[in-house]
Amino acid sequence: MNRRGFLFAPLLARAAKRNPNILLRSSWQSVNIGDIGHTPGALSLIEKYLPEAQVTLWPGELGHGARELLTRGYPKLKIVEGKLDAQGKPVEAELAKVWEQTDLYLSGSGSGFPASQQAVAFLKATGKPVGVFGVSNDPISGLGPGNDPEGGTLKSLRERALQLPATHLKDDLRYVIDRARFFFCRDTITRDYLKAQKVKTPVLEFGPDAQLGMHLRDAERGLAWLKANGLEPQKFIAVIPRLRYTPYYLIRKVARVPADDVRDAINGRTVEGDHAKLREMMIAYVRQTGQRVMVCAEMTYQVELGKRVLVDPLPEDVRKNVVWRDTYWLPDEAASIYARAQAVVSAECHSPLIALRAGTPTFYVRQPTDTCKGQMYRDIGADDWFFEVDETSGSELWQRLEGIVRKPAAARAKVQSIMRGVEARQKRMVDAIRAAV
């Protein structure tokens, strides 16, 4: 090689890597706007901080308009679908080709490292980098050997997780986490549990749920719905219900299994107590302010649930000021409406994240079965707006909400402060992608 060629070789090498190919494994399901929102959140962050990257999405499921949301919001996005055979190799030729071309397998946000077996298969088949983008791994909550179906407070979950033996982590998870270029945990309980398990990934840090990166809005649809239902900006709150366990057998119309008896029993004895607290707050809000309440859903089953447990039991003078959204929606419309709410109060985990990204004060009223992911609210500095449902009351929720009503500018300034910290973390997460590719 002559001197000129020698000097230009590094530049050519860098130019060749200017457009890294990223395979994003995400979109776990579409019956939850949080699971839908994980994907546009990750895409928006990559687009913002690593715009030269070419992203291909390998989705789990894209129903309920999720596919159209993504293709409309990200025209350059490629989508590849397919399954793996018994040997962990792609069945479809198109997926196999993407595996060959990709520079990084990026596993998106979710509970329990979703599709971890696919990450293991990719790593073993290609030897290429794998990274993980804001997941939770709760070793205590849930059904199954060694788990507690009642869950617990975040304090309890952290204490119990750190008491587990250092060999507790499942072998397949340890295999991929040890070899991951980075592993961002969306809560510090997961991070500290994995540290205690002595995993070997070089980057094991807190990195918020990718939902917090989603910038998409459907203002046209959202404003039309608000107008049709007589809701004025900054003169209503949105409230979202939740059962302690999601009744997936009803959603997916599949046969019940014995574990569903346990879940249904827990739901049956807690549904009234949990939502009575939200109703008490709603009653105080309507009577004290004269303003309105919107009851809406994060998951498909919560459309009916909201009417049954939040709207129908209300006193008549309050109920006439409550608007029940009787349809499911997408996160871009939710974001547009939440941006115009005075506050969002949710027993679900992701609607508050949508609200924060939209600039709106929000409460997360956490149920003990909802895993350790709720710790992220404390990790990002939203402690004052986080509540353990078994340790709070309707009057306490109203007292805290009243502070937002009285000082809305201060509450929105707090949201901005929270999001500045979140954005610094998000940049760090994408910087890890850049380093890996």
What tokens appear for 44 in the block?
């928006």
DSSP 50-94: -TT-EEEEEES--TTTHHHHHHHH-TT-EE----B-TTS-BSSHH
Residues composing the chain: 437
Q: How confident is the model at residue 12 (pLDDT cuts 50, 70, 90)?
A: very low
* Delimiting residues of CATH 3.40.50.2000 domain(s) in the chain: 14-213+422-436, 219-420
Domain boundaries 14-213+422-436, CATH class:
alpha beta
Q: Which of 321, 319, 356 is nearest to 338 (CA)?
A: 356
**Domain spanning 219-420, CATH architecture:** 3-Layer(aba) Sandwich (3.40)
Q: Check residue 6 and give its pLDDT.
A: 41
Cα separation, 333 vs 321, in Å, equals: 22
Asked if pLDDT for residue 278 goes beyond 60, the answer is: yes
Tens-digit pLDDT profile for residues 140-170: 999 999 999 999 999 999 999 999 999 999 9
* Mean pLDDT value of segment 175-202: 98
210 neighbors 45 (Cβ within 8 angstroms): yes
Tens-digit pLDDT profile for residues 194-241: 999 999 999 999 999 999 999 999 999 999 999 999 999 999 999 999
Q: How confident is the model at residue 8 (pLDDT cuts 50, 70, 90)?
A: very low
Q: How confident is the model at residue 15 (pLDDT cuts 50, 70, 90)?
A: very low
Q: How many CA atoms lie within 13 A of 68 on its CB side?
A: 7
Tens-digit pLDDT profile for residues 54-84: 999 999 999 999 999 999 999 999 999 999 9
Q: Check residue 11 and give its pLDDT.
A: 46
DSSP 423-437: HHHHHHHHHHHHHH-
